[in-house]
Structure 1
Amino acid sequence: MDDKQPRPAETRRITDVGTLKALGHPLRLKLYGRLRAAGTATASQLAAQVDEAVSLVSYHLRKLAEHGLIEEADAQSGDARERWWRAAQDNLSFRHEDFKDTPEGVAAHSAIIRRLIAHRHEQYETYLDQQTAWGERWREAADQSDFLARLNPAELTSLNAEIHALVRTYEERGKAAEAAGDTAGRENVAVHLASFPFRL
């Protein structure tokens, strides 16, 4: 399937420890993230982006594919030797409730969340290091906010659902615009959300 032919919006909920651990490897998380952003890529392209050997990247791509996290994509060039990959779904989710019954599950869930937080922190710090190069319009559009609300669990669930739905609306709007040829000025934009209770 060509990467210009979008997949239907899909979120896969990971509920088995094996798949969670496969995704939780630091290099595999990075490769999966690159594929989500790029649409499609080869092992050679990804290896250059993450500064690793092509053979190592190919190995980890195969591991992601074994767990249905990525899949082969149609060739984007005339080189039949190249194997193209893409994410097998638009989004992934993994909930503590699905892993709380075993120490291994709890540890795997905690580890991948911590790695994701570290990756997001690194991603934002990279933007901060490069923000001058982005120009005034992008700097004014970028945001880092912190909110404090007094909610119960049902209200927090509802808030998260509304925020997710709003972001998805913009995701689909961007895809439709690009499909219609409106690509000028468009960049990948990371939207990170963390909502959790705390006590003083």
Structure 2
Amino acid sequence: MASRERNRPITDLGTLKALAHPLRMQLYRALCVSATATASQLAEQVDEAVSLVSYHLRKLAEHGLIEEAERQSADGRERWWRPASDGVSIRDENFRDAPEKAAAHLAATRLFHDQRAGMYRRYLDERPTWGPEWNSAASDNEALLRLTPAELAELGRELLALARKYEEKGRAAEAAGDTEGRENVALHVYGFPFRV
């Protein structure tokens, strides 16, 4: 298999629409966390029928968002999947030139935000089960800054680089066998202008 892109830019409407389906985004996110999985494994995670999950995985694959992975078991009937890149980026500037593209970008952005907010609400609901160490480590911060567009863009790049540093550190430690106490962690960062 070819080496994966670090971060795939989504610039076409078809791929954006393929990803901006609630179940497909859930499946894509689950694959990013697990690295590889079968439709059966993913169906169990999202509580959907295997046939439905298989259909949506094929749609993601048609747009190059996921790809077949090497088999992880001797069962030749199982089809394994993995993300085709280490992540995706979706930029407003790629969807501004036509009203239907702008509307699709807005709808996708709202879906992604709603799903992220749902992940955080689930954590809040399950907080008592995580214990004091994880609850002390979890952060919920807000900073109200006075920046230019260029400074906001620079801040975003620096935060992404920092998150990637910790992602690589965690994956390297895990690959070396250091799995004790490791959990999946979501880091959602939004930077946007507002007026009072």
TM-score normalised by L of structure 2: 0.97
Amino acid across the alignment from 2:137: A
Residue 43 (structure 2) aligned to one of 40, 47, 59: 47
**Residue segments in structure 1 that go unaligned for 5+ positions in a row:** 2-6
Which residue of 2 is the match for residue 4 of structure 1? none
Which residue of 1 is the match for residue 21 of structure 2? 25
- Cα deviation, 1:51-107, whole Å, max 9, x if unaligned, reads 111111101100000000000011111111000101111111111110111111111
Q: 2:137 aligned with 1:141, yes or no?
A: yes
Which residue of 2 is the match for residue 66 of structure 1? 62
CA distance in structure 1 between the aligned counterparts of 2:21 and 2:155, rounded to whole angstroms:
31
Q: 2:179 aligned with 1:198, yes or no?
A: no
Q: Displacement of 1:179 after TM fit?
A: 1.1
Q: Displacement of 1:9 after TM fit?
A: 6.4
Q: Displacement of 1:14 after TM fit?
A: 0.5
CA distance in structure 2 between the aligned counterparts of 1:96 and 1:156, rounded to whole angstroms:
15
Q: Which runs of 4+ in 1 moved over 3 A?
A: none
Q: Displacement of 1:8 after TM fit?
A: 5.8
Q: Secondary structure at the match of 1:175?
A: helix
Q: 2:16 aligned with 1:35, yes or no?
A: no
Which residue of 2 is the match for residue 57 of structure 1? 53
CA distance in structure 2 between the aligned counterparts of 1:126 and 1:99, rounded to whole angstroms:
31
> Structure 1 vs Structure 2: percent identity of aligned residues?
61
**Residue segments in structure 2 that go unaligned for 5+ positions in a row:** none
Which residue of 1 is the match for residue 172 of structure 2? 176
| Contact in 1 for aligned 2:38/2:80 (Cα 8 Å) | yes
| Paired positions, count | 195
**Alpha-carbon spacing, 1:9–1:189, altered in 2? closer, same or farther (3 Å):** farther
Amino acid across the alignment from 2:85: Q
Amino acid across the alignment from 1:45: Q
Q: Please provide the CA RMSD for this pair.
A: 1.1
Q: 2:103 aligned with 1:107, yes or no?
A: yes
